Amino acid sequence: MSPIKVATTATARLIDQRAQEEFHIPGDDLMSEAGRTVAREVIDRFETAPVVVVCGKGNNGGDGIMAARTLTEFGYPVTVVMTHHPDELKGSAARAYEGLAGVGVPVADFDELETLLEGAHIVIDAVLGIGSRGPAEGPTARAIDAINDCKSVVVSIDVPSGLREMERGEDPGSIVSADLTVTMGLPKLALLTMPGWLHAGEVVVAPINFPVELLTDTTIDLNFADTADLLEFLPPRPADSNKGTFGRVGIVAGSAEAAGAAILCARATLRSGAGLVTIFTPRSLNAIYKAALPEALTVIVETGGFEDRLTETAAKRILERAEAMNVLAIGPGLGTDPTQAALLTKLLEGFPGPIVLDADAITILANHPPAFDLVRGRSNVLLTPHPGEMARLTSTSVEEVQADRIATVRQFIQEHNVTLLLKGATTLVGDPGGQIFINAGATSALAKGGTGDVLTGLAAALIAQGATPTQAAVLGAQIHLSAGLSLAERNGERGLLASELADELPRAMASLEQPQHSSEAETPTTTEPLEEHDTPWR
């Protein structure tokens, strides 16, 4: 497994500094290569056409200037527009600007920007880089708004201008909406989180001439799993297999009030490739499960006088049958009374294999320290909380969790040594080794009761088929999101049902397995704007 590291603003600055100081790569060379890389992307994708490069006063503007020089050398008609007086340029950017006259690149007055953009087929956005602070103002904001108003293809350098790492609720100000973002060295955190994911368009990661040691440094704990990694996590399906090949999953979930939670969890488990799925049930709910999901097995357990829910009394029977199971999924619709807390405690004590804990099981952990103590240090336990459940686990508020989701996950996995999947727009997965994986993307279609139960069953199925909890969480989050996006595209975002999401999982998994198109096949040869998220990261 070799995921792509993800850079924060601080990490990106440190990589740039180390490249120059430790590896003696001149800043001018880094800027020149960044500009050439952006130009190559334009040349590879689009026929010769008028290009306007809008440059700010920082190094991002210098990258744009170098892109303009390269495009001119290849015959593209290029005009540079500076948002600030060239005298404000410093260092490598100033030296790059001095070289423009030698290759005949015209520099237009800023007041001509809107007129020039009307005639441009391609706009290169080099106004602001990753290090911008606060909302754009003055000519910078005017440039961003003008770029967004034009009908040209927009290519942003490193990040769309105006995008930065922000506190939740902070005013984002004006942000360029790009068709293509060419980011240098590593993908930037701001591109993978909201609102950046909505503005970046297609993202190309260009390592340029940064030393590989800097781009694979294991002290960087943020990661992005690309398609190759996800395919590596996907369990194989040999033709000479049988139902036992693909694992056995036990579902400890459901109650009279929430029998659907167990059904959705089991349905997703079956739809995700598990060979055998067993729902543990009180006698009163058995007929409901049989009618709703005949493909699942049921085991009727004693419930100590509680006719409509699983209780501590069921633990012995569950553990007996669980000896033949590869993984247990516990929590959806289970209930949180003391007798369910006692049941969870006994299952954690008695089942040594992988366990996926969600919903009511997480609430029990938050309220019953003895149960939580049994989870700490178990690297084969996967917790899948939404922000509200995460707030309960950490004795904080939803607002505090959402204000810095990455810090919340980082602290939790360091303290408790478990695998954690924090749901939400841009799902985060933290593993016991301290690494955090970012699953970029979101859709309001998934903001619906029951979709979390589907994710629980999906993750359990992947573990049953041989994935580690971390792999199951990373892969499961992507499959879950892909299924939601596909349904939203076909049916709109308002009416998705969790049962439909479960039934969409096979299609999402099959789509992941399909051979990737060649770069020639997925690269437009005209200057028409790219469709939003038309092609995958590469």
Mean pLDDT for the chain overall: 92
Query: Would the pLDDT of 505 be above 60?
Result: yes
3-state secondary structure of 165: coil
pLDDT at position 228: 83
- Do residues 154 and 123 make contact, with C-beta atoms less than 8 angstroms apart? yes
Query: Would the pLDDT of 306 be above 90?
Result: no
Which domains does the chain carry? 7-217 (3.40.50.10260), 243-513 (3.40.1190.20)
DSSP code string of 465-515? TT--HHHHHHHHHHHHHHHHHHHHHHH-SS---HHHHHHHHHHHHHHHHSP
Nearest by Cα to 107 from 129, 131, 78, 136: 78
pLDDT at position 527: 38
DSSP code string of 331-361? -TT---SHHHHHHHHHHHHH--S-EEE-THH
pLDDT at position 289: 97
**Cis geometry, peptide bond prior to residue 160 (ω within 30 degrees of 0):** no
Alpha helices in 253-313 (DSSP H): 259-271, 283-292
Query: Would the pLDDT of 287 be above 60?
Result: yes
Token representation of residue 456:
């629980």
pLDDT at position 517: 42
Return d(Cα 55, Cα 249) in angstroms, integer: 56
Among 76-90, 166-180, 291-305, 324-338, where is mean pLDDT lowest? 166-180
The percent of residues in the chain predicted with pLDDT above 90, rounded, is 84
Query: Would the pLDDT of 538 be above 50?
Result: no
pLDDT at position 515: 56
Average pLDDT estimate for 21-29: 96
Kindly report, residue by residue over 38-68, the tens digit of the pLDDT: 999 999 999 999 999 999 999 999 999 999 9
Return d(Cα 238, Cα 257) in angstroms, integer: 40
Return d(Cα 12, Cα 18) in angstroms, integer: 10
* Confidence band for 229, pLDDT divided at 50, 70 and 90: confident
Token representation of residue 477:
């989050």
